[in-house]
Amino acid sequence: MARRPALSIPGKGRDRPLRVRAEDGEDLAVVSAYLQDAIVPVSEMAYEADERRFALVAGRFRWEIAPDGRTAGKRSEDGDAPFERVHTGLRFEGVRSVRSKGLDRSDRSLFLNLLSIAYADNAVDLIFAGDSTIRLDVDGLSCHVEDLGTPWPTVFRPSHDDDGNTHGAD
C-alpha cells in the first residue's frame, strides 16, 4: 500500500486553518517555512517528559495569505491591515530530551523569534534569532502543527537583514 502524504496543505481559502504533520525532513522543511518568524513566548513552551512530548504555542505569521509586493506598515486600499498572525500549536512526539543553547528557558517573560526548524540524526533543532537553539532528541520525526483560534490583523511583515536579525515582528 502506498504511503499517504503526511502534509495536508490547506486550499487557497483565506479562512482555512493550517493543519499539517511532518514525518520526514522534507515535510519538516514545509512546516519550517510556515512557521518562519513565529513569535514564541518561553512561557508557552512545555516538555512533558513522562509523555515524551514537547509542545509550544506561537504567534505565526500567515505567509500563505500575505499579499506579494506589500511592505511593512502599508495598509490595503480599503484600509485593512494587509497581513495576519494566528496562534499555532506545534507538537513533537517521541522526545527523549530537550537541551537549549543561547537562552534561559526559565525566563518565562522571554519572547523568541523562530527562524527555522531542522531535522537530522534523530534531533530536531528549533533555531531562533539571536543565536538561540532548542534541540529535541527524538526517536523519529513525529511533528503536528495546527492553527488555534482566529487570526488577527497586523501591518507588520517580518523581514531580515544580512545578519539574520528580524525586523517588523509584532
Mean pLDDT, range 50-67, rounded to an integer: 93
At residue 1, the pLDDT reads 34
**Which residues are CB-neighbours of 156 under 8 A, at least 6 positions away?**
72, 73, 83, 168, 169, 170
Q: Name the DSSP letter for residue 133.
A: E
Name the pairing type of β-strands 143-154 and 83-93: antiparallel
pLDDT digits (tens, 9 = 90+) for 65-93: 887 655 444 555 555 667 999 999 999 99
Q: Average per-residue pLDDT in the chain?
A: 84
At residue 12, the pLDDT reads 45
Q: In the chain, where are the structural domains located?
A: 19-159
- Does pLDDT of 44 surpass 60? yes
- Does pLDDT of 8 surpass 50? no
Distance of CA 30 to the CA centre of its chain: 10
CB 27 within 8 A of CB 9: no
